[in-house]
Amino acid sequence: MPHDHSDHDHPHSLLPSDPALRVKALETILTQKGLVDPAALDEIIDTYENRIGPRNGAEVVARAWSDPDFKAALLEDADPVLAELGLYGRQGEHMVVVENTDDVHNMVVCTLCSCYPWPLLGIPPGWYKSDAYRARAVREPRKVLAEFGVTLPEGCAVRVWDSTAEVRYLVLPRRPAGTEGLDASALADLVNRDCMIGCGLAGAS
């Protein structure tokens, strides 16, 4: 039988205890060995700080609100639709988009770690990775929603999607009333990050 070695030996304890020093020490050693190029680290950080974030998802949502054929294709099989928009990539290889309606409100969590659709939303916010969200979103989603200022009508069911595989979920929020005349950019401005996780409503600030 295969054997799980990992419970005994924890070399990380050899690093300094202060986390900033731990990271620095590891980067130093890896750079000295030629295993890490600090310029590549800068490039990765710049990507997720400045280039890949929730505006990507917001533009997809805005288009789905205004183009019924696009929306139908997105809900049927999101991957080719997103690939065509250049929104394929790490932690977004297998996307499913779930639509909020009058009767169903969708919410996304990863109880086991912090799986999240990076190409559409960037890296996850602190609260998404928190023990409180991971523990509570599946058991008491309505109380969690209340902490985001969201109260659902009594007749609306909640579907919480726990991201336990490599499939990543994006919520298509309900389009706010009175937005018929808005163009794509103005519509995307209404789409905040939290509503695409299912912890907010579009049009709320």
Site for other proteins in 48-77 (CB under 8 A): 48-49, 52-54
Examine residue 102 and tell whether it contacts other proteins (CB under 8 A): no
Which C-beta is closer to other proteins: that of 39 or that of 177?
39
Instruction: Assess contact for 148 and 194: CB atoms under 8 A.
Output: yes
Which C-beta is closer to other proteins: that of 23 or that of 186?
23
The only residue of 99, 129, 174, 204 in contact with other proteins, by rule CB under 8 A: 129
DSSP secondary structure, the chain, as one string: ----GGGT--GGGGS-SSHHHHHHHHHHHHHHTTS--HHHHHHHHHIIIIISSHHHHHHHHHHHHH-HHHHHHHHH-HHHHHHHTT---TT-SEEEEEE--SSEEEEEE-SSS----HHHH-SPPHHHHSHHHHHHTTT-HHHHHHHTT----TT-EEEEEE--SSEEEEEEPPPPTT-TT--HHHHHHT--HHHHHTSS-TT--
The only residue of 67, 76, 143, 151 in contact with other proteins, by rule CB under 8 A: 143
From 6, 13, 17, 113, the catalytic residue: 113
Active site includes 199?
A: no
Active site includes 114?
A: yes
Least distance from C-beta 63 to other proteins, angstroms? 20
Active site includes 195?
A: no
Active site includes 115?
A: yes
Instruction: Assess contact for 38 and 27: CB atoms under 8 A.
Output: yes
Stretch 144-203 residues interacting with other proteins (CB under 8 A): 144, 147-148, 157-167, 192-194, 199
From 67-75, 138-146, 170-178, 180-188, give the range in contact with other proteins by CB under 8 A: 138-146
Q: Which residues of 173-198 are buried (b: 16+ CB within 10 A; e: fewer)?
A: bbbbeeeeebeeeebbebbbbbbbbb
Question: Token pair 């902490």 is at which residue?
Answer: 147
From 115, 163, 195, 199, the catalytic residue: 115
Examine residue 47 and tell whether it contacts other proteins (CB under 8 A): yes
Binding mask 5-44 for other proteins (x = CB under 8 A): xxx-xxxx-xxx--xx-xxxxxxxxx-xxxxxx-xxxxxx
Which C-beta is closer to other proteins: that of 6 or that of 102?
6
Examine residue 84 and tell whether it contacts other proteins (CB under 8 A): no
From 6, 13, 110, 156, the catalytic residue: 110
Catalytic residue list = 110, 113-115
